[in-house]
Amino acid sequence: MKVAIYPGSFDPFTYGHKNIIERGVQVFDRVIVAVAHNTSKKTVFSVEERVQILNEVFKDRDDVQVDYFEGLLVEYIKRMGTNIVLRGMRTVSDFEFEMQMALANKTLSSELETVFMVTDSEFSHISSSVIKEVISLNGSASHMVPEIVEKRLREKLLKR
């Protein structure tokens, strides 16, 4: 069984992320969406909230598993018994960052393979900062994020 780990902060989870996951399960038997716990990054949602949201979005999918990790991605991947990292890219700047990360991970674990998937063009403009700004200004992000994400973002950002 080919299992890919799709790591990220997912703060917030977007239709671009969903696009990569749904296409990923066409290539791999299962995709584990691994929410990164990064204490140096200021997030809107806690790790637990992000995991809960993702579980809700993928509740009807047996081929998508939601988990979280802390520490080095290569160590998490080894614990999960796979060697495949799935990464989505929207822009050239994404490619530069992702290439650096893939090479660093490969240095830490030579068995690791990173598979890059380009987000469908209809999602290439979506970023967490754009979504947060739209919601903060009371706009609609329904074309950028699942309904549960927009609802939870409104609860968090508009009560400040």
pTM exceeds 0.85? yes
| Cβ neighbours for 120, distance < 8 A, ≥ 6 positions apart | 19
In a domain, 126, yes or no: no
In a domain, 151, yes or no: no
In a domain, 127, yes or no: no
Q: Which of 18, 50, 128, 152 is catalytic?
A: 128
**Counted domains in the chain:** 1
In a domain, 150, yes or no: no
Task: Note if 41 is an active site residue.
Answer: yes
By residue range, what is the domain housing residue 11?
Answer: 3-121
Angle in degrees, 0-180, between the axes of helices 147-157 and 128-136, rounded to the nearest 10: 60
Task: Note if 61 is an active site residue.
Answer: no
**CATH code of the domain in which 60 resides:** 3.40.50.620
The verdict on whether omega for the bond into residue 146 sits within 30 degrees of 0, i.e. cis, is: no
Which pLDDT score, from 0 to 100, does residue 160 have?
Answer: 57
- Cα dihedral 21, 23, 28, 32 in deg (nearest 10): 0
The predicted-structure confidence for 30-79, as pLDDT tens digits, reads as follows 999 999 987 667 889 999 999 999 999 999 999 999 999 999 999 999 99
Q: Which of 17, 50, 87, 152 is catalytic?
A: 17
Determine contact, residues 143/122, Cβ cutoff 8 Å: no
Q: Which of 40, 41, 93, 140 is catalytic?
A: 41
What does the DSSP 8-state code read for residue 122? G
Q: Which of 18, 50, 87, 90 is catalytic?
A: 90
What does the DSSP 8-state code read for residue 91? S
In a domain, 68, yes or no: yes
In the chain, DSSP finds a helix count (H) and a strand count (E) of 6, 5
Q: What is the mean pLDDT of residues 7-16?
A: 95
In a domain, 104, yes or no: yes
Task: Note if 128 is an active site residue.
Answer: yes
The DSSP line for 47-62 is HHHHHHHHHHHTTT-T
Determine contact, residues 30/64, Cβ cutoff 8 Å: yes
In a domain, 65, yes or no: yes
Q: Is the pLDDT of residue 90 over 70?
A: yes
Containing 104, the helix (H) or strand (E) segment is helix 92-108
Please tell me the distance from the alpha carbon of residue 21 to that of residue 87, in angstroms, as a whole number: 10
The predicted-structure confidence for 145-158, as pLDDT tens digits, reads as follows 999 999 999 999 98
Q: How does strand 30-37 pair with strand 84-89?
A: unpaired
In a domain, 147, yes or no: no
